[in-house]
Structures are given as structure tokens and as C-alpha cells.
Amino acid sequence: MGRGKIEIKRIENSTNRQVTYSKRRAGIVKKAKELTVLCDAEVSLLMVSSTGKIHEYISPSCTHKNLYDRYQQASGTDLWQPHYEKMQEHLQKLKDINNKLRKEIRQRHGEDLDDLGFQQLRGLEQNMEKSVECVRNRKFHVITTQTDTFKKKVKNHEETHNSLIREFEERDADFRFPSLDFEGDYQSTIGFANGNPQIFAFRLQPKLQSADLQDEETYGSYGLSLS
């Protein structure tokens, strides 16, 4: 090759290595081109230098992907195809399950009942009655719990209110028949006299009036179009 026989082993000097890489890369690309033209072959050549830079040669009217695919087919080590097919299968399964679930929901909405027989309809009806009973019970449980909580709150507030009233009246009495330590407590008593009585008016019914059906978020249709 050059001045004196060279040994084929790693060039330790990084700069020289890069120089040699550039030169030899050019050489190998030239060889690849020649092979393409002379022998009517298709060549895909990918090279990554020790610094991570990528260089390539690919025969005209041909792609790396194309050659790589052919290589994979030939060597029978295509790992993508099975993976891809599995995913497709998986998607189909999910779609099927989705449709079943939708159908069940529709039936539980009283729709799409045409292909159910008498027995199935009777079963569905009984099951739904049982289920609606569960919901009703839960509803009562919730409203009971809420009512209890409100009662407690009301009681609590009443107690606070009463004790404040009591305290106020005591102070008021002190004010009209001042005790020995009047001077020191005057300011705080004035403060209470100016306190806002509306502070004890609270809302007992947190929006329990209109119970419109069907929260779109929860019971709407989950549309999904697949490509």
C-alpha cells in the first residue's frame, strides 16, 4: 500500500486514524462504485467513524432500505414483521372488545335489543333491576351521609353562635355596668359590637335542585375512527 508494509491493527493516534479513515473511506466507496458498474451489482455501504460520523454509498436506483429488506428476507431474521403483525392483531382484539362493550352498554340503555330472545331479555331486565337497586341504595347512602354532615355542621355553628351571643351579652353587661378592669378591654368589646352577624348565614342545599340526566363526559359515546 504505502511506504513499507502496514500491519492491520488499530491506529492509536487519533488524528492519523481519522486521516486514514478518510482516505480509505474514499477508496472503499470507489471500489463499491466500480463493483456496481462493472459487475451490475447493487451495493449498500454504511460506515460510522470512531467519532460517530456516518458515511454511505448506495448503488443508483436503489435504497438502503430496499437492500436491507432483501437481506432480512434472505437471512430470515426479520424481527419487525412478526412484531408488526402482533400489534395489528392486538389492535383488532381491542376493537372487537370495544364493540362488545359498546353493545352491552347499548343494551343496558334499552337499545339494540332486536337480537335478544325472551329469556335473555328477562335476564337482562332482572339484572338491571338488581343493579338499579344498588344505585338507589348508594344514592340513599350518599344523601344520608350528606344530611348527617350538614346536621352536624348546623349544630356546630349553632353552638358557636350561641356561645358568641353569650359572650357578647356578658361583655354588653360589663359595658353598661363596667367592672374594675374596663379600660383594658374596651377596644376588643367594640370590635365584637361591629362584628358581622351575616357570618352565620350558610347555604344548606349545595345545588341539589336540578338532577339532569346524562353527563356527556361519563355516558357519551366514545367515538374512534381507525385508519
Q: Using CB under 8 A, count the residues that bind a copy of itself.
A: 100
For residues 30-59, which are near a copy of itself according to CB under 8 A? 31-35, 37-50, 54, 56
What is the closest distance, in whole angstroms, from the C-beta atom of residue 33 to a copy of itself in the complex?
8
26 binds, among DNA, a copy of itself, none (CB under 5 to 8 A by kind): DNA
Residue 167, C-beta contacts closer than 8 angstroms, at least 6 positions apart:
192
Q: Which residues bind DNA (CB under 7 A)?
A: 1-6, 15-16, 18-20, 23-24, 26-28, 30-31, 34, 38
Q: Establish if 154 lies at the interface with a copy of itself (CB under 8 A).
A: no
107 and 116 Cβ atoms separated by less than 8 Å: yes
Interatomic CA distance for residues 27 and 57, integer angstroms? 12
Amino acid present at 185 = D
116 binds, among a copy of itself, DNA, none (CB under 5 to 8 A by kind): a copy of itself
Q: 200-208: list long-range contacts, CB under 8 Å, 24+ apart.
A: 200/157, 200/161, 202/153, 202/157, 204/150, 204/154
For residues 106-145, which are near a copy of itself according to CB under 8 A? 107-111, 113, 116-136, 138-139, 142-143
Which of 98, 149, 162, 188 touches a copy of itself (CB under 8 A)? 98
What is the closest distance, in whole angstroms, from the C-beta atom of residue 51 to DNA in the complex?
9
Stretch that binds a copy of itself, among 148-156, 157-165, 174-182, 210-218 (CB under 8 A): 210-218
Q: Which residue has the cell 471500489?
A: 31
Q: Establish if 28 lies at the interface with a copy of itself (CB under 8 A).
A: yes
What is the closest distance, in whole angstroms, from the C-beta atom of residue 184 to a copy of itself in the complex?
51
What is the closest distance, in whole angstroms, from the C-beta atom of residue 23 to DNA in the complex?
5
Task: Give the largest Cα separation in the chain, rounded.
Answer: 123
Cα–Cα distances in angstroms (integers) from residue 173 to residues 28, 63, 129, 190, in the given order: 109, 101, 65, 13
Cα–Cα distances in angstroms (integers) from residue 153 to residues 96, 101, 162, 206, in the given order: 51, 43, 14, 13
